[in-house]
Amino acid sequence: MVKNVSTLTINVISMILVAFACIIVFVSLIVIKYRVSNSIEDGMTNIGVLKAIGYTNKQIITSFILQFVLIASSASVIGVGLSYSLMPFIGSIVSTLSGLLWHQKFDMLINLVTIFTVVLCVVIVTLISAFRVQKIQPIMALRGGISTHSFRKNHFPLENTRGSLHFLLGIKSMLTNVKQNFMILLIIVALTFASVFSVVLYFNIASDKTAFVNLFGSEPANVLLYVKPDTDTRELMSHVKQMDQVRKVNVLDLITTKMDGQTVYTNVTEQYDQLENNTVYEGRQPKYENEISISWVVSNQINKGIGDTVEIAYGAETGSYLVTGLSQSIGNLGQIGALTMEGIQQLHSDYKGTTLYVYLDGISNKSFIENVQEQYGDAIVETLDIDENIESQTGMYTAAVFAVMVMVLTITVLVVVMILYLVIKTMIIKRKQEFGVMKAIGYSTIQLMHQMSISFLPVIISGVTIGGVLGYFYTNPMLSILLSSAGVKRLDFLVNLPSIVMLCLGILLLAYIVSMFVSIKLKKISAYSLITE
């Protein structure tokens, strides 16, 4: 149990990193598929020659697979080495979260499994992409992939379509490269979703912490008072309520009970509708002395749900209670229950509660603690500034999630830059003669650059929009899945729309700037150089 509690947060961060790693692998495989297809198109004549002199489809496909397997294997080994160089940074985060020292070891098995998995994915994608070679006949390959005829529909004919000439040429270029643009669309969607995911996570842990704190089942009061066992709790509660700037006071104890043989950490209060953190996501909290709510973790352990009866043991007494709701909480490994004060008194008639949660309005926690200690210090064992305690405990989570967010956004920027560089560079090489002719008839470099950028803008706008919408609606469900092992069933993190819009606009602006910057290579193309070549 100690091990599970200590590693809980680390496991959550690890799962988020693994999820993002899967997205990056997915993006990489899309790029590899695009690269294989381009290699086949660029080497179409060579493929025809190889087939004409007797090479089989299997041999040609194997050559493609070996090429990318060697690259993937080498890159995977380098990636493993880089990951170990970054481990001290990750280790410092782990140490902060757990309070334990990080001792890094070289794990050969995990390294080999990782490399094998990545290389296997590359082999599968390359094999699927290279199957196209089987359909290519030698004569067709020697013609550069052209069969008996190769005519495409002329979208947006310039002679009868209204609009800016540069815009129309850019759109025509976009429609000509449908497969390439679909690849870019998928990549932008995946990266935007990952970025929105990390920003939402950081926003709820660093900015508005309400939903994050509620996950732990904590009651968002201001000050906690631990009452001495021999004190009349109700009388003290009445006195504290009458103090200046006290909004309300609730009794909320956490006791250990046995539920159908399972240890359950059970909350006890008088009226749950007076609390501000309702952890029940299905059904309701108990109202009467014979009712109880349980967490979904406990529900799975004892195989009982809403409407069932459970046996509760506290001390030497045992009673039957009706389950009225299912709750969720990261705290106490999710093994949580909730009884009313009257409900626990069925098992312990003298039970009166020893923990008071005080909600303040218009006074600092420190000042109130000084006042209550001065007036009722003889009846109080200890006081706790809940706000200060939450701030100190969530600070380590803020640092860890900030590091994850920075990493995700950095990789997003790098991938967007590399993908656009690869695609635009390939397009410039393929359309070199066309751009040379356009320059000869009077187009300037900046006009061609704008045409190139316009051809990508609709795809990038669509990708950013789809990724942003998916992030807005599916970040909470995905986080719920990732945190399910920690006791979370349904997450309600605040998804801040302005921050998502700003992020999407930033990715869009980055893509446009990169496309313009890479397109500057068009400056080197001239009709004279094409003729002299």
CATH code of residue 263 = 2.40.40.20
Q: Is the distance from CB of 400 to CB of 97 less than 8 angstroms?
A: yes
Q: Are residues 234 and 91 in the same domain?
A: no
Q: Are residues 292 and 410 in the same domain?
A: no
Q: Is the distance from CB of 418 to CB of 515 less than 8 angstroms?
A: no
What is the rounded CA–CA span in Å between residue 38 and residue 424?
Answer: 13
Q: Is the distance from CB of 417 to CB of 511 less than 8 angstroms?
A: no
Q: Are residues 279 and 359 in the same domain?
A: yes
What is the rounded CA–CA span in Å between residue 274 and residue 305?
Answer: 24
CA dihedral sign of residues 241, 242, 243, 246: positive
In degrees, rounded to 5, the angle at the alpha carbon of residue 402 between the alpha carbons of residues 396 and 405 is 145
Q: Are residues 255 and 368 in the same domain?
A: yes
Q: Are residues 226 and 300 in the same domain?
A: yes
For the chain, give the mean pLDDT: 84
Average pLDDT over residues 235-261: 92
In the chain, the number of structural domains is 3
Q: Are residues 131 and 179 in the same domain?
A: no
What is the rounded CA–CA span in Å between residue 342 and residue 288?
Answer: 7
Reply yes or no on whether the pLDDT at 235 is more than 60.
yes
More confident residue, 265 or 176: 265
pTM for the full model?
Answer: 0.74
Confidence of residue 284 (pLDDT cuts 50, 70, 90): very high
Q: What is the pLDDT of residues 335-386, one digit of tens each?
A: 899 999 999 999 998 898 899 999 999 899 999 999 999 999 999 999 999 9
Q: What per-residue confidence (pLDDT) applies to 173?
A: 65
Reply yes or no on whether the pLDDT at 287 is more than 90.
yes
Reply yes or no on whether the pLDDT at 174 is more than 70.
no
Q: Is the distance from CB of 306 to CB of 281 less than 8 angstroms?
A: no
More confident residue, 71 or 421: 71
Average pLDDT over residues 199-205: 85
Strongest mean pLDDT among 15-29, 439-453, 497-511:
497-511
Which of the listed residues 370, 388, 406 is the one where a domain comes to its end?
Answer: 388
Q: What per-residue confidence (pLDDT) applies to 206?
A: 79
Which of the listed residues 388, 405, 422 is the one where a domain comes to its end?
Answer: 388
Q: What per-residue confidence (pLDDT) applies to 360?
A: 94
Q: What per-residue confidence (pLDDT) applies to 229?
A: 87
Q: Is the distance from CB of 68 to CB of 122 less than 8 angstroms?
A: yes
Judged by DSSP in three states, 260 sits in coil
Q: Are residues 298 and 205 in the same domain?
A: no
C-alpha distances in angstroms, 311 versus 155, 340, 352, 359? Answer: 72, 15, 22, 34
Burial level of 195, CB count in 10 A (0-12/13-18/19+)?
buried
* Number of other residues whose CB lies within 10 A of the CB of residue 30: 19
What is the rounded CA–CA span in Å between residue 274 and residue 357?
Answer: 11
Reply yes or no on whether the pLDDT at 530 is more than 70.
no
Best CA proximity match to 100, nearest among 22, 3, 238, 181: 3
What is the rounded CA–CA span in Å between residue 477 and residue 490?
Answer: 7
Q: Is the distance from CB of 200 to CB of 347 less than 8 angstroms?
A: no
What are φ and ψ of residue 271, in 5° steps? -135, 120
Q: Are residues 125 and 212 in the same domain?
A: no
Tell me the pairing of strands 355-360 and 280-283.
Answer: unpaired
Q: Point out which residues pair with 358 in neighbouring strands.
A: 223, 249
Q: What per-residue confidence (pLDDT) applies to 147?
A: 54
What is the rounded CA–CA span in Å between residue 366 and residue 383?
Answer: 10
Q: Are residues 238 and 120 in the same domain?
A: no
What is the rounded CA–CA span in Å between residue 211 and residue 201?
Answer: 11
Cα torsion through 259, 261, 265, 270, rounded to 10: 20
Q: Are residues 260 and 350 in the same domain?
A: yes
Q: Are residues 348 and 410 in the same domain?
A: no
Reply yes or no on whether the pLDDT at 532 is more than 90.
no
Reply yes or no on whether the pLDDT at 166 is more than 80.
no
Q: What per-residue confidence (pLDDT) applies to 302?
A: 93
Judged by DSSP in three states, 246 sits in strand
What is the rounded CA–CA span in Å between residue 47 and residue 56?
Answer: 10
Q: Kindly state the tokens that stand for 404.
A: 């994850």
Q: Is the distance from CB of 291 to CB of 340 less than 8 angstroms?
A: yes
Burial level of 392, CB count in 10 A (0-12/13-18/19+)?
exposed
Q: What per-residue confidence (pLDDT) applies to 252?
A: 94
Q: Are residues 52 and 139 in the same domain?
A: yes
Q: What is the pLDDT of residues 144-157, one digit of tens each?
A: 555 555 556 666 66
Domain residues for the domain of 355 are: 217-388
The share of the chain scoring above pLDDT 90, in percent, equals 31
What is the rounded CA–CA span in Å between residue 83 and residue 176?
Answer: 40
Tell me the pairing of strands 246-251 and 309-314.
Answer: unpaired
Which of the listed residues 346, 364, 388 is the one where a domain comes to its end?
Answer: 388
Reply yes or no on whether the pLDDT at 245 is more than 60.
yes
The share of the chain scoring above pLDDT 70, in percent, equals 89
141 alpha-carbon distance from chain centroid? 45
Strand order in the sheet with 246-251: 246-251, 355-360, 223-227, 380-385
Q: Kindly state the tokens that stand for 90.
A: 């990750």
Q: Is the distance from CB of 476 to CB of 495 less than 8 angstroms?
A: yes
Q: Is the distance from CB of 44 to CB of 144 less than 8 angstroms?
A: yes
For the chain, percent helix, then strand, then coil, each to nearest 5? Answer: 65, 15, 20
